[in-house]
Structure 1
Amino acid sequence: MPIATVNPVDGETVRTFDALSGDEVERRLALADRTFATYRTTSFAERARLLRAAADLLEKEEAEIGRTMTLEMGKTYAAARAEAAKCVKAMRWYADRAEGLLADEHPEQRDVEDSGARAARVVYRPLGVVLAVMPWNFPLWQVVRFAAPALMAGNVGLLKHASNVPQTALYLGDLFRRAGFPEGAFQTLLVPSSAIEAIPRDPRVKAATLTGSEPAGRSVAAIAGDEIKRTVLELGGSDPYLVLPSADVEAAARTAVTARVQNNGQSCIAAKRFLVHADAYEEFARAFVAGVAALRVGDPMDEHTDVGPLSSEQGRADLEELVDDAVAKGARVLTGGKRPEDRPAGWFYEPTVLADITPEMRIHREETFGPVATLYRFTGLDEGIGLANDTSFGLSSNVWTRDAAEKERCVRDIEAGGVFFNGMTASHPALPFGGVKRSGYGRELAGHGIKEFCNVTTVWEGPED
């Protein structure tokens, strides 16, 4: 894929970029390594000052960077501005809390004495240069939720962003530079995916984090494993959305529409499989289908648009293949299921709901990255949880119920990194985020996220010290 901004509204190439030369990549790697040697010794107060300065700049430039994100990948302008505001919030959250999150930990004195020590503590130290391989769907947020904790921990970052969001990628590198971070603390590498293998293999790079597809995660994890380096992976998702008989069905259906089509349906944590108890199925299906059918598809810069285009022509083609395969094998199209006739240019696809899904259909197993929902009926909690877990993914889940026992059962038995009751999955700086199974491993955000790229160091002092 060329490194280029291509407007998904009309398919026109806006701007192309040359990939960095091998010599320039080497220069930036060397700079990152040198910068870490001194940046690691800066105080939390100094790091927080710099991160707050970056947050202030981003807050002032929310409208501008929002337009850039919309241009590059097609999210609605309102969603793009909200993404920028969320990044500002995360930066300030870590600036305020990082020192406390990484404070030395002291075991109980009786355990210290039992170890033969006079004193003992656990210290968190930065690892060094961390490579971040990031996707296009949340081009600002995915990076900031890595960069804010990593920089506050004393690490330095190298960003390899998706090739279709180069202007957002360059903005991020420039943002941290203008905020006053040392040269080399955070650098954007405009390189193709084919150039990635050499970077995590470089001994100056100590760890990698990747958000993206399962094949991309498998590739980076294999390289890091071969080099014995730490990784955090956040990969695909096919999140279940369970509706049980005690739920507020009207609210569940209303929220389900947003949960599925957020970010034009291109979100790993979007609800994708809607599993509804037979006692609530007809009411939910009627309201959900009506809500999806009422969505307005159009120019993402138009404030009245609910769903913009998919990010690429290939992305739409992949989605169409899944829908066509399901329909050919007996799925019913309750709404949508085709390209909108009034949008001949660009990569638009109608918000779609499919029913009568069977295991033989690809859509039952594969992630739908676009505004397509699958609707299932079940008759008991055991069956519902079984359907929820009948996927290779395990990123998050949504459950609608007022029953306390059902809640505890779902927390115990649903195989996912999160269980969100009576609402839709969302990420927040204070809550750890990540998945299980083929959705990846490790956690971002909260205290868990900032500690992922720290050396957990045991300090033991003998009785004669």
Structure 2
Amino acid sequence: MVETIKLISPVDGSLHAERPVASDAEINAITERAKTAQIAWAETPLAERGRYVLAFLEALLAMNEEIVPELAWQMGRPVRYGGEKGGVEERTRYMVDLAAAALADVIPHDARPGFHRYLRRVPLGIVLVIAPWNYPYLTAINTIVPALMAGNAVILKHAAQTLLVGERFAKAFEVAGLPKGVFQNIVLNHVQTEKLLGSGKIDHCNFTGSVAGGRAMEKAAAGTFMTLGLELGGKDPAYVLPDVKLDHAVANLVDGAFYNSGQCCCGIERVYVHEKVYDDFVEGFIAETKNYVVGNPLDEATTIGPMAQPRFADFVREQKAEALRKGAVAHVGMKVDNDREGSPYLAPEVLTNVNHQMSVMREESFGPIVGIMKVRDDDEAIQLMNDSPYGLTASLWTTDADRAAALGDRIETGTVFMNRCDYVDPGLVWTGVKDTGKGGAMGRTGYDNLTRPKGYHLREV
């Protein structure tokens, strides 16, 4: 009997898609095609690679009207938000434009007569992208585009919850006329994925997922000397300072906490507010949260759809229950007919009187719940922000940029924001510290991590 991967829709619990996993023969054929295709692709001029990638982008954008409801059925994001086309286009065009400068030869500053010396960035070979379901296009684009621009071949293994996304990528590259084998989509189970990582046929893997998943990736790849990029858990904090523009902070932090049902790698999960503005901030935050509408993501009125799976929602329910037992206060109490144990539909919640003995303030929630704590000063805020096993992003809400930069130097995180959150800047780097993982995507660093340096030392005689 052929093993399959089943996609169960969070909208109504129905079987939305089912695909057979690849056989051993198919996996071998895919890796061999990639190996062969990559050699010719690496010799393709950079400008031509860019034309293929931009043609792929246009083909993908042309599918957006179909993609938006498809995403709602797969992982629950409301159709009113229009999918991920804005970010996909921004990141793709930026990385294509950056490629020539990022991949240009580097000439040592100390010129030596009679020698031609330079460092060249060359492709790694075959890049495996293991993409998550929460932002299934954006997270995949982060690696796929710069990997291809750098001359690598790419194999995409998408999450079971978003099986159809991999097929959309494959179709868009087919429409773009990309040479066969340069990009391939594959369906694998966990055992097959680990076996492929340990096979020695993959030169780099970028994985976005859980901390446990990242550890499994490292274990599977041990001894192969392949490189790994791991973007894992997050518990992203915000600190609201006394000089904050309150309405702006409230609106943006509520959105940062609850957009995508809180299922954002860099979503706001905990907020520390200076005592001088605490009461006003909490009042505004609660009022803004109560404007959300939980429901069927195919309904244009819905602003929070179901979480991707019932077990994710139940985990958040457990965090809330534990916090309430320990003295936290819940402020929203939104009544949603299908918000119950075993259902993926979950109303947003705001908790105060929380502390770091509660799971909701230290362990990743990845759902529509946020705790808000009062702090006396910057030192207390920084201590609490750093009291976490994770470090992806942190945001500071103030009108003083110098103060924000100085505080940012003290925060253990991959990105520091001021007056915004929940954003990936393609011109910088997407990275984290501690259990959030290692490596980095986007910007020049993204290209560095998808190539290897090769030195040329040419002597004239």
**Residues 330 and 349, structure 2, Cα contact 8 Å, conserved in 1:** yes
- Which residue of 389, 393, 397 corresponds with 1:392? 389
Indicate whether 1:33 and 2:35 are aligned.
yes
**Residues 10 and 346, structure 1, Cα contact 8 Å, conserved in 2:** no
Name the counterpart of 1:49: 51
Structure 2: gaps of 5 or more residues: none
Amino acid at match of 2:187: L
- Which residue of 175, 187, 194 corresponds with 2:172? 175
In the TM superposition, residue 285 of structure 1 has moved relative to its aligned partner by: 0.2
- Which residue of 117, 120, 137 corresponds with 1:120? 117
Could you tell me how far apart the structure 2 residues matched to 1:11 and 1:314 are?
13
Could you tell me how far apart the structure 1 residues matched to 2:149 and 2:328 are?
50
**Structure 1 residues 283, 124: closer, same or farther in 2, change over 3 A?**
same
SS at match of 1:17: strand
Superposition map of 1:66-465 within 5 A: 66-79=68-81, 81-108=82-109, 111-113=110-112, 118-336=115-333, 340-341=336-337, 347-462=344-459, 464-465=460-461
**Residues 10 and 309, structure 2, Cα contact 8 Å, conserved in 1:** yes
Could you tell me how far apart the structure 2 residues matched to 1:353 and 1:207 are?
40
Amino acid at match of 1:290: A
Please identify, of 32-41 and 341-350, the stretch whose mean Cα deviation from structure 2 is larger.
Answer: 341-350
Could you tell me how far apart the structure 2 residues matched to 1:450 and 1:301 are?
38
Number of paired residues? 458
**Residues 289 and 334, structure 1, Cα contact 8 Å, conserved in 2:** yes
SS at match of 1:196: helix
Could you tell me how far apart the structure 2 residues matched to 1:270 and 1:218 are?
23
In the TM superposition, residue 2 of structure 1 has moved relative to its aligned partner by: 6.1
In the TM superposition, residue 428 of structure 1 has moved relative to its aligned partner by: 2.9
SS at match of 2:56: helix
In the TM superposition, residue 75 of structure 1 has moved relative to its aligned partner by: 0.8
**Residues 401 and 418, structure 2, Cα contact 8 Å, conserved in 1:** no
**Structure 1 residues 193, 261: closer, same or farther in 2, change over 3 A?**
same
**Residues 5 and 167, structure 1, Cα contact 8 Å, conserved in 2:** no
SS at match of 1:274: strand
**Structure 1 residues 185, 356: closer, same or farther in 2, change over 3 A?**
same
Could you tell me how far apart the structure 1 residues matched to 2:451 and 2:286 are?
47
**Residues 198 and 222, structure 2, Cα contact 8 Å, conserved in 1:** no
- Which residue of 8, 11, 31 corresponds with 2:10? 8
Could you tell me how far apart the structure 2 residues matched to 1:78 and 1:146 are?
27
**Residues 78 and 304, structure 2, Cα contact 8 Å, conserved in 1:** yes
**Residues 9 and 74, structure 1, Cα contact 8 Å, conserved in 2:** yes
Amino acid at match of 1:341: D
Could you tell me how far apart the structure 2 residues matched to 1:167 and 1:425 are?
25
Could you tell me how far apart the structure 1 residues matched to 2:297 and 2:23 are?
35
TM-score (normalizing by structure 2): 0.95
**Residues 62 and 85, structure 1, Cα contact 8 Å, conserved in 2:** no
Could you tell me how far apart the structure 2 residues matched to 1:320 and 1:183 are?
47
Amino acid at match of 1:13: L
SS at match of 2:331: strand
Please identify, of 70-79 and 414-423, the stretch whose mean Cα deviation from structure 2 is larger.
Answer: 70-79
Please identify, of 236-245 and 62-71, the stretch whose mean Cα deviation from structure 2 is larger.
Answer: 62-71
Could you tell me how far apart the structure 2 residues matched to 1:358 and 1:424 are?
22
Could you tell me how far apart the structure 2 residues matched to 1:255 and 1:87 are?
21
**Residues 71 and 83, structure 2, Cα contact 8 Å, conserved in 1:** no
Structure 1: gaps of 5 or more residues: none
Percent identical residues: 30
Could you tell me how far apart the structure 1 residues matched to 2:172 and 2:83 are?
18
Could you tell me how far apart the structure 1 residues matched to 2:402 and 2:166 are?
46
**Residues 98 and 443, structure 2, Cα contact 8 Å, conserved in 1:** no
**Structure 1 residues 404, 166: closer, same or farther in 2, change over 3 A?**
closer
Listed one character per residue, the Cα deviations across residues 53-73 of structure 1 (whole Å, up to 9, x for unaligned) are: 101111211111122111100
Could you tell me how far apart the structure 1 residues matched to 2:139 and 2:219 are?
22
**Structure 1 residues 177, 246: closer, same or farther in 2, change over 3 A?**
same
Could you tell me how far apart the structure 2 residues matched to 1:389 and 1:297 are?
32
Could you tell me how far apart the structure 2 residues matched to 1:243 and 1:36 are?
49
**Residues 439 and 449, structure 2, Cα contact 8 Å, conserved in 1:** yes
In the TM superposition, residue 351 of structure 1 has moved relative to its aligned partner by: 0.5
In the TM superposition, residue 223 of structure 1 has moved relative to its aligned partner by: 2.8
Amino acid at match of 1:34: T
**Structure 1 residues 112, 303: closer, same or farther in 2, change over 3 A?**
same
In the TM superposition, residue 301 of structure 1 has moved relative to its aligned partner by: 1.9
Name the counterpart of 2:63: 61
